[in-house]
């Protein structure tokens, strides 16, 4: 695959958010042809995180010919879903409006992200490409592919959960990360974060609500091609989340690829290598071929590294 020189523009405002301006960082390859675009959402349990926290990952993608817009989005303590879906549609609008200036292809747009960002990218892409859901919400976008890194796809009580004494540990940078002031210094439980996502009191949270917010239950016939990547030693989001989601997609006849990184933990360095970026870029170039609108021409696969 051809390697490109890359350019980076930071702090570009793209929309209003619940807590102030929403900005993006733009990573672009130097190329004579407009580049396909990955709108990327960082992790952080829906309550924290930064758009600039994995620059190597984004640089490597741009070097392989993928323009990346790494975006801010509303945290759930500031606004429940679908505020984040609206953030994403605003980012799509920004890409289309600024495509000529930055040599972007407005017809080749994918959504992706890591952990909580991978969840938000996936559920949003599914809703934006589901004709019934889009008609009900009044929002839609031509999303051509989805990239989900170490993501939770099932939020219900039946979801795979970390197993105590499994030997899989929570990475230190996550265990020691500051808790937003909103939570008074006490890390919120998964149920509290889910309630904030859903916009309901915690005592009203139930599996019906959570199923409606779960990508596992929102797959549909028009689902764009999926690339699902997960580490087999993830101590935060069990790898079974991705395996089960890929299995469901295959049973529905959807185009889905599952790539398991042996021994990789949540946000492990394995996800920041040039080789991993090349894998993601190759998928996106296949899913978003040059000269055409989004095309679903991939075959489902599973690979281990």
**Dihedral pair phi/psi, residue 63, rounded to 5°:** -65, -25
3-state secondary structure of 46: coil
Strands 6-17 and 145-149: unpaired
pLDDT at 132: 78
- Hey, which bits of 91-241 come out as E strands? 104-114, 145-149, 226-231
Q: What is the DSSP string of 256-292?
A: EEEEEETT--TT-GGGGSHHHHHHHHHHHHHHS-TTS
Domains with residue ranges and CATH for the chain: 6-304 (3.40.50.1820)
pLDDT digits (tens, 9 = 90+) for 100-130: 999 999 999 999 999 999 999 999 999 999 9
List helix spans (H) across 39-189. Answer: 55-63, 83-97, 99-102, 116-129, 131-137, 172-175
User: How crowded is the C-beta side of 220, counted as CA atoms within 13 Å?
Assistant: 16
**Dihedral pair phi/psi, residue 272, rounded to 5°:** -110, 10
pTM over 0.75: yes
pLDDT digits (tens, 9 = 90+) for 230-259: 999 999 999 999 999 999 999 999 999 999
Q: Which two tokens stand for residue 225?
A: 């091609």
User: How crowded is the C-beta side of 299, counted as CA atoms within 13 Å?
Assistant: 2
Q: Report the C-alpha gap between 295 and 98 in whole angstroms.
A: 23
pLDDT digits (tens, 9 = 90+) for 44-90: 999 999 999 999 999 999 999 999 999 999 999 999 999 999 999 99
pLDDT tier for residue 295 given thresholds of 50, 70 and 90: very low
Q: Report the C-alpha gap between 8 and 20 in whole angstroms.
A: 23
């Amino acid at each position: 695959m051809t390697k490109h020189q890359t350019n980076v523009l930071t702090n570009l405002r793209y929309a209003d958010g619940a807590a102030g301006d929403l900005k993006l960082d733009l990573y672009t390859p130097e190329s004579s042809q407009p580049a396909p675009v990955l709108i990327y959402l960082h992790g952080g349990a829906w309550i924290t995180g930064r758009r600039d926290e994995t620059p190597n990952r984004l640089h490597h993608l741009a070097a392989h010919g993928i323009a990346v817009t790494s975006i801010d989005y509303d945290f759930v303590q500031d606004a429940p879903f679908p505020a984040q879906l609206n953030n994403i549609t605003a980012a799509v609008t920004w890409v289309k409006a600024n495509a000529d200036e930055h040599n972007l292809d407005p017809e080749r747009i994918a959504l992706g992200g890591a952990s909580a960002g991978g969840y938000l990218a996936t559920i949003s892409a599914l809703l934006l490409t589901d004709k019934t859901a889009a008609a009900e919400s009044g929002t839609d976008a031509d999303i051509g592919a989805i990239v989900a890194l170490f993501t939770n796809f099932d939020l219900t009580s039946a979801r795979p959960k970390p197993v105590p004494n499994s030997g899989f540990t929570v990475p230190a940078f996550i265990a020691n990360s500051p808790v937003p002031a909103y939570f008074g210094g006490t890390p919120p439980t998964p149920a509290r974060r889910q309630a904030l996502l859903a916009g309901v009191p915690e005592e009203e949270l139930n599996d019906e609500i959570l199923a409606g917010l779960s990508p596992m239950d929102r797959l549909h016939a028009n689902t764009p091609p999926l690339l699902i990547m997960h580490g087999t030693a993830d101590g935060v989001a069990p790898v079974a989340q991705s395996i089960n989601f890929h299995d469901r997609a295959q049973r529905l006849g959807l185009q889905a690829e599952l790539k398991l990184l042996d021994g990789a933990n949540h946000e492990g360095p394995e996800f920041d290598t040039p080789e991993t970026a090349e894998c993601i870029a190759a998928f996106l170039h296949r899913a978003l071929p040059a000269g055409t609108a989004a095309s679903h021409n991939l075959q489902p696969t599973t690979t281990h590294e």
